[in-house]
Chains A and B, each alone.
Chain A
């Protein structure tokens, strides 16, 4: 299954509504592009990735989420390339027998991808400038660097 997409993400095919009769819960998170960041007006975004590791991290998060929350289906897709306000950046779908684990697993999976996958967000502002948003080292062997690998998504989110 592809996990990185250079074209718009389609949510519906990811839901697998009729493929999991044992499941009474479906948690869906859709991350979209917002128009502001730290007081600045954002006009558009560009997502770039180191694709070999980004894809592997996302697949590992799908697998580890299934195991950790004992849910049968976790599917994550991340968009790359140029996006405008309102475009879908990330989709995460979890199917579970009951809602509690569906919600928890979905949140865990999205946090783990955001903190662990080498996918960079470059914001373009109204004045024509742009900047990469950097809040979270993915390095895991530094002395002062917090561990933020997929299994330890302990960072405080500012997004």
Chain B
């Protein structure tokens, strides 16, 4: 099982801080694809999110973290 953690605008859009998600996925990208398919209203923002596990950034091609938790980090203000 995966647990997606939502922050900022994605937390607001999803209406939750985290989302437990059934299934077994090899990579972060596969897990995000399943999330986007199940919650199409989140898909475009998810596409623009960086992902993290603990204090490290994980990329789409990386394996799903051992603890199954994937933090989704939306764009920042930047300015």
Answer whether A and B are interacting partners.
Answer: yes
Give the B-binding residues of A (Cβ under 8 A). Answer: 48, 50, 52-53, 55-56, 114-115, 117-122, 132-142, 145, 148, 155, 157-159
Taking a contact as CB atoms under 8 Å apart, the answer to whether B50 and A118 are in contact is yes
**Could you count the A-B residue pairs with CB atoms below 8 Å apart for me: how many are there?**
91
Q: CB-nearest residue of chain B relative to A51?
A: B55
User: Does B35 belong to the interface (CB within 8 Å)?
Assistant: no
B77 and A118 within 8 A (CB): no
A142 to chain B, nearest CB (A): 7
A118 pairs with B7, CB closer than 8 A: yes
Residues B77 and A133 in contact, CB atoms below 8 Å apart: yes
Contact partners of B48 in chain A: CB under 8 A = 137, 139, 142, 145
**Known interface pairs A48-B7, A132-B12. Does A115 touch B60 (Cβ–Cβ under 8 Å)?**
no
B4–chain A nearest beta-carbon distance, Å: 13
Closest to A119 in B: B76
Cα distance A135–B78 when bound, in Å?
Answer: 6
B9 touches A114 (CB 8 A): no
Are B74's CB and A53's CB within 8 A?
no
- Give bound CA distance, A140 to B62, whole Å: 13
- Chain B's interface size range is 20 to 34
The answer for the CA separation of A158 and B79 in the assembled complex, in Å, is 5
Residues of B within 8 A of A115 (CB): 76, 78
Which residues of chain B have a CB within 8 Å of any CB of chain A?
Answer: 7-9, 12, 47-52, 54-57, 59-61, 71, 73-79
A residues less than 8 Å from B51 (CB atoms): 139
Contact of A114 among B47, B57, B78 (CB under 8 A): B78
Q: Can you add 10 more A-B contacts, CB < 8 Å, to A121-B76, A139-B51?
A: A48-B8, A50-B7, A120-B77, A121-B77, A122-B8, A136-B75, A136-B78, A136-B79, A142-B47, A159-B79
Given A137-B48, A140-B57, A145-B48, does the pair A120, B9 have CB atoms closer than 8 Å?
Answer: yes
Task: Decide yes or no: A140 and B7 within 8 Å by CB, A115-B76, A135-B77 being known contacts.
Answer: no
A148 touches B52 (CB 8 A): no
A137 to B54, CA, bound (A): 19
Q: Closest CB of chain B to A97's CB: distance in Å?
A: 31
